Amino acid sequence: MAQAYMTEPEQGPGPEQTGSRAERLRRWWGPERMWRRGIVLAVLAVLLGLLILLHARIPNTVGNLGSLLETFLPWLGLGIPLLLLLAVFRRSATALVALVLPVFAWANLFGGQLTGKAGTGGDLTFVTHNVDAANPDPAGTARDLVAADADVVALEEVTAQALPAYKKGLATAYPYHAVKGTVGLWSKRPLSDAASVPIKMGWTRALRATLTTPDGDKIAVYVAHLPSVRVKVKAGFTASQRDASAAALGKAVSQEPLRQVVLLGDLNGTMNDRSLAPITSQMRSAQGAAGDGFGFTWPVSFPMARIDQIMTRDLNPVAAWTLPATGSDHLPIAASINLSGGS
């Protein structure tokens, strides 16, 4: 006797498999809930945007938190792609819209540093380098700096033990030099009137000299190494001594009788740090005016902040860049400058 077998009807595609790709994406996104999801992400995006936009309002009264934030301010931008990925994963239109604020705030502050501003030429090239007191090869560092072929080289953190190696290594290329305390200046052009600059420290870490340009004009060149800063659990961002030195250096520059000034050195702070305003308010950053990218200089293993600076008054930076690593924990930096004037 023949047996009849019943078969299950063949399953067709589920709702999630039917329709156009756009339709499937629409269903996956869930338009009926996309504005209600991700409220926490949206709040975080707004807070990030306000933190970037209003960083100057964060007080320094407790642990110098404002200056600490401003030292690493560009890195807050890393929160934007992270929140973007989470917003897409969460399928939250609210979080995506909220991201407009931090994107705008970050682009407003740092968008210009993503475009190339460096030009060509320049009358004089300056280099500054914190050579590190613990540098195991000062002679090699001197050779690296000579290879950069700058007109003027400034060194910070020069120890008495390493000074002979720097003098010997730089002497042929730079016949003019001045050393005061732990900072020094070497030049292809004549230097005169070299003197220490008091910046409220127990030893000399700043100097000022007059440089004679190829046209015979005089410009003032300052070399400075402001006090180091630390982040401590109880004390916070210990920058009080640096801030006092920055005020003293700013006062010295403001009283400089020569119209044109170049400041070279390790300021242990970034251009965003409000505590360096006594200096930054009256001088122009070569990196900001003519650099490509952020030009971070420290620490050399993974540069996270530009605490080494070349700044000008009434001179026009043409290009600014970082140099390859030496035996120091800082990267050296260079800038080409026109003597025709500028802001």
DSSP track, 228-275: P-EEETTTEEE-HHHHHHHHHHHHHHHT-SSS-EEEEEE-SS-TT-GG
71: in domain: yes
Q: Are 110 and 128 part of one and the same domain?
A: no
Bridge pairing between strands 152-156 and 183-187? antiparallel
> What value does the mean pLDDT take over residues 195-214?
95
135: in domain: yes
4: in domain: no
Q: Are 157 and 267 part of one and the same domain?
A: yes
Q: Are 161 and 83 part of one and the same domain?
A: no
3: in domain: no
Q: Is the pLDDT of residue 242 over 80?
A: yes
Given a contact cutoff of 8 angstroms between Cβ atoms, the answer to whether 236 and 62 are in contact is yes
pLDDT tier, 237 (very low <50, low <70, confident <90, very high otherwise): confident
Q: Are 149 and 275 part of one and the same domain?
A: yes
| Nearest of 282, 261, 285 to residue 271 by alpha carbon | 285
Given a contact cutoff of 8 angstroms between Cβ atoms, the answer to whether 319 and 122 are in contact is yes
Q: Which residues of 156-194 are buried (b: 16+ CB within 10 A; e: fewer)?
A: bbbeeebeebbbebbeebbebbbbbbbbbbbbbbebeeb
pTM, whole model, 2 decimals?
0.87
Could you give the percent of the chain with pLDDT greater than 90?
Answer: 76
Q: What is the DSSP letter of 30?
A: -
How far apart (Å, rounded) are the C-alpha atoms in residues 206 and 332? Answer: 18
Structural domains of the chain, count: 2
121 vs 266: which has the higher pLDDT:
266
38: in domain: yes
119: in domain: no
Of 88, 114, 140, which residue constitutes the final position of a domain? 114
104: in domain: yes
Dmax (CA) for the chain in angstroms is: 121
Q: Are 139 and 39 part of one and the same domain?
A: no
pLDDT tier, 3 (very low <50, low <70, confident <90, very high otherwise): low
Cis amide leading into 299 (omega within 30): yes
46: in domain: yes
143 vs 238: which has the higher pLDDT:
143
Q: Are 48 and 89 part of one and the same domain?
A: yes
Q: Are 217 and 293 part of one and the same domain?
A: yes
Q: What is the pLDDT of residues 296-321, one digit of tens each?
A: 999 999 999 999 999 999 999 999 99
Q: What is the pLDDT of residues 93-120, one digit of tens each?
A: 899 999 999 999 999 999 988 888 888 8
Q: Are 157 and 269 part of one and the same domain?
A: yes
Q: Are 308 and 183 part of one and the same domain?
A: yes
Expressed as residue numbers, the domain containing 69 is 20-114
pLDDT at res. 238: 81
